[in-house]
Amino acid sequence: MKRISILVSIIVGGLVLTAGVASAHFTMVFPGEDMDVTPEDYIARVGETKTVWIIWGHPYEHILFDMSSAPSVSVRDPEGDVEPLTAAEISVEGTKAYEVSFTVDKLGDWIVSATYEDDEERLVDYVKAVIHCGEEAWMGWDANLGEKAEIVPFTRPYGLEEGFVFTGMALYDGKALSDADVEIEMYHTKAVGDEVVKKAEELFPYDPPMMFTRVTKTNAAGEFAYTLDEPGIWFVGAYGPEANGLTQRSVFIVPVLEAFPPEGKVDISATGLEELQNRVKSLEDRVANMPDGEKAPGFAAFTGIIGLMAVGYLLRRRE
């Protein structure tokens, strides 16, 4: 009897461990017809046709699964017109996925919206991804589409650098979704995903997925904030209640750029350096020509030191 109890404990423990290693499923909306997706893929030119892949899986570990149904997809243009898109079945890395295409013919922000129901996970995702077009044409990114579950961003979801804070509001049936779990997860390519998961399992054997899927909460007004600390494609998902036995979740996709300007790559032009040197020389000349009674003791030396420090700093930045 004791041996049976031990065996049951081992089996149950193994099942718990196996279940714990898996992180969150997300519906991934990737423009570019490539799994090496980058933040720049969410930028478009006027006249460009954008093809968008819709994929089901774990973004962090790069584990893909067959989609159990075709997603419902539409795109909202910068003026608020919504066009339904027909999703065509495709294969991505041997798994069933879907794709849609549309032409970007206006400046501004285009919102791709996909609704996907997964039978196995008993989950419905309402996903939004913004594709931006045009210099300073920052209009449309914060639109409320009126979805059953939806995240409306407070932070413009492009032009973000690593370390920026993303803020928004989670809605359900048009009302604030309060005290809701919000999961945040970053996408990795297959090679990188395998490496970081292995490292997490080595360093945090007691709970590796805590490093895959980050969690925060909405406040009473449905608002949330989270720091996106690495460049890449981030998924932000707010969990709503069940409807017809299916959990309703809103998802917003946020591309994040590397820090700008890149450290050590700032180019201070020779013209700018010469201008600073001229200003320091002018200040020194003014001090030299001041009557002795108006000069503070050591002031000339002080200005010279400040000038040298400024020039030295700029020279180091140039290097």
Query: In this structure, is residue 18 part of a structural domain?
Result: no
The whole model's pTM is what?
0.78
Q: Which residue, 23, 14, 19, is CA-closest to 196?
A: 23
Q: Which pair of structure tokens corresponds to residue 113?
A: 């919206």
pLDDT one-digit tens code per residue, 170-209: 999 999 999 999 999 999 999 999 999 999 999 999 999 9
What's 72's domain CATH number?
2.60.40.1930
Query: In this structure, is residue 240 part of a structural domain?
Result: yes
Bridging pattern class, strands 123-133 and 108-118: antiparallel
**One domain for residues 178 and 278:** no
**One domain for residues 47 and 161:** yes
**One domain for residues 249 and 291:** no
Specify the pLDDT at position 12.
Answer: 36
Number of domains in the chain: 2
Contact 52, 112 (CB under 8 A): yes
Specify the pLDDT at position 2.
Answer: 38
**One domain for residues 207 and 88:** yes
Query: In this structure, is residue 7 part of a structural domain?
Result: no
Specify the pLDDT at position 271.
Answer: 55
**One domain for residues 230 and 285:** no
Of 207, 223, 256, the last residue of a domain is 256
**One domain for residues 55 and 89:** yes
Specify the pLDDT at position 32.
Answer: 87
142 three-class SS: coil
Of 232, 256, 280, the last residue of a domain is 256
**One domain for residues 39 and 99:** yes
Q: What are phi and psi of 271, to 5 degrees?
A: -65, -45
Query: Which range of residues forms the domain containing residue 309?
Result: 270-318
**Low-confidence stretches of the chain (pLDDT beneath 70):** 1-23, 265-277, 279-284, 286-319
Q: Which residues pair with 290 in a beta bridge?
A: none
